[in-house]
Chains A and B, each alone.
Chain A
Amino acid sequence: MNEYMQLYMAFLRIGLLTFGGGLAMLPMLKYELVEKKKWITEEDLLDCYAIGQCTPGIIAVNTATYVGYKRKGIAGGIVSTLGMVTPSLVIITLVAICLQAFIENVWVQHALMGVRAVVCALMLNTVLTLAKKSLKNAFCAAVCAAAFALAMFVDIPTVCIVLLAGAAGILLYSVGGKKQ
């Protein structure tokens, strides 16, 4: 099997076996890339994970592109990314087709109403966890409050809020010299 095929298959397996993405993916990445294939070291993996987290886009995809690029250049990055997206494309399409066929059924409707309640609970929990992690000082709390107010009450594109927050961060930490 040539190396492009190996990259594709490795990331296809990772995509197939991780639920939820993000942090949940780290053990799988470590097993496939560091222990099994020995393509990168554990330090490399943590570095690329950090880059994946603070660059735009889905963390899993960013990591796949980074590792693929380091192994086999631009084509490697593209092949790895395609491997990562394949399971999502296939599985979600199948689920969506099934759901479309049954959505009018009254029992499916009852089930979906229950599911909605739990989705709310799970998402509220995600927000709580994120808030605990990201609200470390007064500046963070202020940015968070301002962004929330803008998102809720002002008709402003989400992108602008992100850009404003980034600018505030640069002014305070990079130009102002405040320690993080």
Chain B
Amino acid sequence: MNGKLIFLLFWEFMKIGLFAVGGGPATLPYLMDLTEKFDWYTMEDLTNMIAISESTPGPLGLNMATYAGFHTLGVFGGAVATLGLVFPSVVVIILIAKFLEDFNENKYVQGAFAGIRPAVTALIASAVYGVCKVSLFVETETGYVPAVKTIVLCAVVFALLQVKKLQKYHPALWLLFAVIVGIVFRF
């Protein structure tokens, strides 16, 4: 067991836990940063991770940490990354609960979050751009070539998701649909 890697895994996920404001999807930009910094997992792995997290119980962020940790260092890595992710939450929330009765009412806290919320949307958008690039395009020697079948399926599902009546369906059902289409049409 590599002690330095264990510490690094805990440290990197602790930073994600400390800076990802707004839960699940907010961890995505940070998880993408990690694909550039380390060779723990690839962008393709990250896309699989999102699919698995969306279709299994539990909060998205935790599932992502467990899966990323598992990819890096097996079962033990999953536990280390998950504990790293929750560590700052436990500390910060206990401090807030203990000392700041009306944390939400504080005008500086409100101001900071009014600025952070739209920025988080932008960060998630930029991470999603990265996910789409590796999923909808195939990397060849001459650059990125569009994967037509994948783009069509993505566009169809996105259009369907805009229909009010279809919005109540669970993401797992859409992913099941994707599995069937992928196998039938040999993506």
Residues of A that sit less than 8 Å from B by CB: 15-22, 25, 47, 50-62, 65-66, 69-70, 74, 77-78, 81, 84-85, 87-89, 91-93, 95-96, 99, 107, 110-127, 130-131, 134-135, 139-141, 143-148, 151-152, 157-159, 161-162, 164-175, 180
Q: Which residues of B sit under 8 angstroms from A167, Cβ to Cβ?
A: 112, 115
Cβ contact within 8 Å between B153 and A127:
no
Instruction: Give min CB distance, B150 to chain A, whole Å.
Output: 4
CB-defined A-B contacts under 8 Å, sample of 20? A50-B104, A53-B22, A57-B89, A61-B61, A62-B89, A69-B97, A77-B94, A85-B82, A92-B70, A114-B179, A115-B178, A120-B135, A122-B174, A125-B158, A127-B125, A130-B124, A161-B123, A162-B21, A166-B112, A173-B110
Contacts of A25 in B (CB 8 A): 59
- Measured CB to CB, the residues of B under 8 A from A are 15, 17-25, 27-30, 33, 44, 47-48, 50-63, 66-67, 70-71, 75, 78-79, 82-83, 85-86, 88-90, 92-94, 96-98, 103-104, 107-126, 128-129, 131-132, 135-136, 147, 149-151, 153-155, 157-158, 161-162, 170-172, 174-175, 177-183, 185-187
Chain B residues with CB below 8 A from A152, complex form: 126, 129
Of A89, A135, A171, which one neighbours B79 at CB under 8 angstroms? A89
The distance in angstroms between the C-alpha atoms of A39 and B31, with both chains bound, is 35
Nearest Cβ distance between residue A99 and chain B, in whole angstroms?
7
CB-CB under 8 A for A93 and B183, given A57-B20, A118-B154:
no
A57 to B61, CA, bound (A): 9
| Contact call A78/B54, Cβ cutoff below 8 A | no
Taking a contact as CB atoms closer than 8 A, the residue among B59, B88, B112 that contacts A169 in the complex is: B112
Q: Does B110 contact A174, Cβ atoms closer than 8 Å?
A: yes
Contact of A161 among B51, B60, B119 (CB under 8 A): B119
Of A81, A118, A134, A139, the residue contacting B177 (CB under 8 A) is: A118
Least Cβ–Cβ distance between B125 and chain A, in angstroms: 5
A-B pairs, top 6 by smallest CB distance, nearest first, are A114-B182, A169-B115, A21-B59, A57-B89, A165-B119, A174-B111
Give the residue among B30, B55, B108, B171 with the most A Cβ atoms within 10 A: B171
Q: Are A115 and B97 in contact (CB under 8 A)?
A: no
For the complex, give the distance between the alpha carbons of A125 and B128 in Å.
Answer: 10
Residues of B with C-beta under 8 A to A17 = 57
- Please report the C-alpha to C-alpha distance between residue A55 and residue B47 in the assembled complex, in whole angstroms: 26
Q: Quick one: which of A111, A134, A146, A172 contacts B117, CB cutoff 8 A? A: A134
Given A51-B96, A118-B153, A57-B183 contact (CB < 8 Å): no
Across-interface contacts of A169 in B (CB, < 8 A) = 111-116
Pair B182/A115 contact, Cβ less than 8 Å: yes
Asked whether A147 and B131 contact (CB < 8 A) given A15-B57, A25-B59, A110-B186, the answer is: no
The answer to whether A93 touches B75, judged by C-beta atoms less than 8 angstroms apart, is: yes
